[in-house]
Amino acid sequence: MTVILNQSFTGISIGAVLLLIALGLTLTFGQMGVINMAHGEFIMTGAYTTYVLQKSISDAGLSLLVALPVAFLVAGAMGVLLEWLLIRRLYTRPLDTLLVTWGVSLMLQQLARDIFGAPNVQTHAPDLLTGNISVGGGITLANSRLFILALALLCVLALTLILRLTPLGRRIRAVVQNRDLAEVSGIATGRVDRMTFFIGSGLAGVAGVALTLVGPIGPTTGTNYIVDAFLVVVVGGIGQLKGSVLTAFVLGVLQSVLEYSTTVSVAKVMVLVAIVAFLQWRPQGLYTLRTRSLA
């Protein structure tokens, strides 16, 4: 029982990382139909931002706090640049955005390799986050994982508030639901797209900061998570925050518990089978927008 609880907690913390990554993806995917493979490299950017900041700010706790907003801005700016240079030219061809952004991701990975070197680098976690909390019954929770969980939930909350309460959020939701109607209603969809991309990519940067607490970081840090994050978006339903939240945690726990009872590799395959089976039941994902389109 203890083992299962511990394993579930590990799963929840895997889910929190997936959630951070998938939040940005579900925004951009849902609104623009863009499959951004370079999202993984924005995560990597966030991770390296933390690494660079730690070189100048020796206090690990302070540098982590500074890294969060800075990584958000840096990754967000890269996202805006990508959107402006390439993606807005590819609106009518969503599948091709996958391939084009994959090309971008290749180049960014190589750039990271040229700047920081191919070997992984390690950042120091603040003392506060290195310990464990024992909650009795032999169950221990790692502080860093609790922090990531809190960070993920905070991001969900912030994003929900932005989407629900601000004028920008209203415009974003309008564009997700019906781009053409939003356009004729006087919403500058191009500008909304750019802001969405900024937020989505920025969240990837924040996810990158969180990943520095989990282990060493390297040029392929983002790529390792990107496929799983896309699966979260697919299962959760495109553009649906609650779908992403639920799915990220369920997949995380499923993966983690299966890993314990079998092996890492078998667990991966079983999760994939579970996803395909799930899509038989709900082909459009857990939550879907009701639309009148046939597709």
Partner 1 sequence: MTTTTSPVPTAVTEPSVTLRERLRVPGGFVLGAVLLLGVAPLVLSDFRLSLLAKYLCYAIVAVGVSLAWGRGGLLVLGQGVFFGIGGYAMAMHLKLADAAATGQTLPDFMQLYGTGDALPWWWQPFAYPGFALAATVLLPMAVAALLGFFIFRRRVKGAYFAILSQALAAALAIWLVGQQATTGGTNGLTDIQGFFGYDLDDPVNQRMVYVVIAVVLLLLMAVARQLFVSRYGELLVAVRDSEERVRFLGYDPANVKLVAYVVAAGMAGLAGALFVPAVGIISPALIGIVPSIGFVIGAAVGGRASLVGAVLGALVVAWAQSTLSDAFPAGWTYFQGLLFIVAVGFLPGGLASLFAVVRDRRTRTPKGETA
Region of 186 on the Ramachandran plot (φ > 0 left; ψ -120 to 50 alpha; else beta) = left
Question: Cβ(35)–Cβ(98) under 8 Å?
Answer: yes
The least CB distance from residue 215 to partner 1, in Å, is 17
Count of residues binding partner 1 (CB under 8 A)?
46
Two structure tokens written together for 235: 């299962």
Among 5, 6, 7, 33, which residue interacts with partner 1 (rule: CB under 8 A)?
33
Comparison of 80 and 146: residue with beta carbon closer to partner 1 = 80
Question: Residues 142 to 161: which contact partner 1 by CB under 8 A?
Answer: none
36 versus 63: smaller Cβ distance to partner 1: 36
Comparison of 95 and 184: residue with beta carbon closer to partner 1 = 95
Binding positions for partner 1, 62-121, rule CB under 8 A: 86, 89-90, 92-96, 98-100, 102-107, 109-110, 113-114
For 79-84, the CB contacts below 8 A with 24+ separation are: 79/42, 79/197, 79/198, 79/200, 79/201, 79/202, 79/204, 80/194, 80/197, 80/198, 80/201, 82/36, 82/38, 82/197, 82/201, 83/193, 83/194, 83/197, 84/194
What is the rounded CA–CA span in Å between residue 37 and residue 89?
A: 16
Q: How far is the CB of 140 from partner 1 (least distance, A)?
A: 27
Chain residues binding partner 1 by CB under 8 A are 29, 33, 35, 86, 89-90, 92-96, 98-100, 102-107, 109-110, 113-114, 223, 227, 230-231, 234, 238, 263-266, 268-269, 272, 275-277, 279-280, 283, 293-295
